[in-house]
A and B are shown apart, each in its own frame.
Chain A
């Protein structure tokens, strides 16, 4: 794997952020925590995860975050131990539009009229309901189209 684009040292009080799709370090933060609650050292938590960061520009970045350092002091004699974790940040996607609702671009009622062929009645996707005149006969098709491919 390529070197991380950013690193957050334990107790270094620094913070890594994304600006215009690129990782950079700025401001300050705190990476220490109490034992048993931290991400790695109890062995039951994730050592890496994907962080999805949304921007005010209507985009998001997915960033792979992995720990690079961990120190663990257990609770002894009623004195709370402490865990410190350092993190590496890998950019794994550029800015992408924030997903929204599926866009319905059109719909039709389709009917085969004997040997004359197949004809469509356009149905509105908003506003008044579309009306079809001949669905009393046995079969018909409603075909709808979306802006993007269905999964």
Chain B
């Protein structure tokens, strides 16, 4: 859908699987300047608890979540709020520990 800014499009995703790459693609895109593209794509890797965006969940992620425990999520630590509850707590630490050693496949 088009956002409040007509230059933006927004795609809501549900039931996104873990440890994979997804690609959101718009096809047959035309803009007000007369430009055209057959497709515009945005790829993204999805890995639960990979708070440092390394592509792998390990002790560094666990450490970073622990460092923020008992904090409310804000613009600088929201990645550590793994369960998206709005608060970083023992549940986030537990999930991160559970996900330890998971990783993304090779990038597409």
Contact = CB atoms under 8 A, between A and B. Distances in A.
B35 A103 contact: yes
Nearest to B21: A129
A148 interface: yes
B13 A140 contact: yes
A20 interface: no
Interface string B27-47: 001111111110010111111
Contacts of A121: 79
B83 A142 contact: no
Given A99-B34, A142-B13, A113 B84 contact: yes
A150 B31 CA distance: 4
Range, interface on chain A: 35 or more
A121 B78 CA distance: 9
A112 B84 CA distance: 7
A139 interface: yes
Interface in A104-129: 104-105, 107, 109, 111-117, 119, 121, 123, 125, 128-129
A151 B31 CA distance: 5
A147 B45 contact: no
B92 to A, nearest CB: 9
Contact of A131 (B7, B72, B104): B104
A138 B46 CA distance: 13
B42 A146 contact: no
A113 B7 contact: no
Contacts of A129: 21, 43-45, 107-108
A27 interface: no
Task: Identify the 3 closest CB pairs spanning chains A and B, nearest first.
Answer: A114-B86, A136-B48, A116-B86
30 contacts: A96-B34, A100-B35, A102-B31, A107-B42, A113-B73, A114-B81, A114-B87, A116-B81, A116-B86, A116-B87, A117-B86, A130-B44, A131-B45, A132-B46, A133-B47, A133-B49, A133-B82, A134-B49, A136-B46, A138-B14, A142-B24, A144-B26, A146-B8, A147-B33, A147-B35, A148-B31, A149-B7, A150-B9, A150-B29, A151-B30
Interface of A: 96-97, 99-105, 107, 109, 111-117, 119, 121, 123, 125, 128-151
